[in-house]
A = this chain, B = another copy of it.
Amino acid sequence: MDNHTSERAVTLKDLARQLGIHPSTVSRVLHSDPVVARGAASESTARRVRELAAELGYSPDPQATSLRTRRTHLLGVVVPRLSDLVLAIMYEGVEQEAAGIGYSAFVTNSRDDAGEQRRKVELMLARRVDGLIIGDSHLDGDLLPELHRRAIPFVLMNRRHPGFPSATCDDVRGGELVAEHLWAQGHRKVAVIAGEPYASTAVDRTSGFSERWRALGGSMPEEAIVWSRFDTQGGREAAEKILASGVDPTALFAVNDFAAIGAMGALRSRGMTAGQDCAVVGFNDTSLAAELPIPLSSVRSPMAEIGRVAVRLLTRVLRGETVEPVLLQPTLQVRESSA
Contacts and interface: CB of A to CB of B under 8 A. Distances in A.
Interface stretch (A81-89, A182-190, A193-201, A310-318): A81-89
Interface residues of A, number: 55
Interface in A83-117: 83, 85, 88-89, 91-92, 95, 99, 104-109
A82 B92 contact: yes
Interface stretch (A154-162, A173-181, A262-270): A262-270
Contact of A123 (B67, B88, B99, B108): B99
B151 A5 contact: yes
A127 B106 contact: no
A36 interface: no
B274 A236 contact: no
Interface stretch (A17-25, A204-212, A219-227, A291-299): A291-299
Contact of A72 (B63, B105, B149, B150): B63
B62 A127 contact: yes
Nearest to A4: B151
A44 interface: no
Contacts of A293: 261, 264-265, 267-268, 274, 293-294
A150 B258 contact: no
A233 interface: yes
Given A62-B126, A233-B287, A267-B293, 6 more contacts: A9-B128, A62-B63, A82-B91, A105-B106, A235-B291, A293-B293
7 contacts: A59-B126, A63-B64, A82-B88, A82-B91, A83-B92, A107-B107, A258-B288
Interface of A: 5-7, 9, 59, 61-64, 66-67, 72, 81-83, 85, 88-89, 91-92, 95, 99, 104-109, 123, 126-128, 149-151, 231-233, 235-236, 258, 261-262, 264-265, 267-268, 274, 287-288, 291-295
* Interface pairs A-B: 6 shortest CB-CB: A232-B291, A5-B151, A268-B293, A82-B88, A83-B88, A63-B63
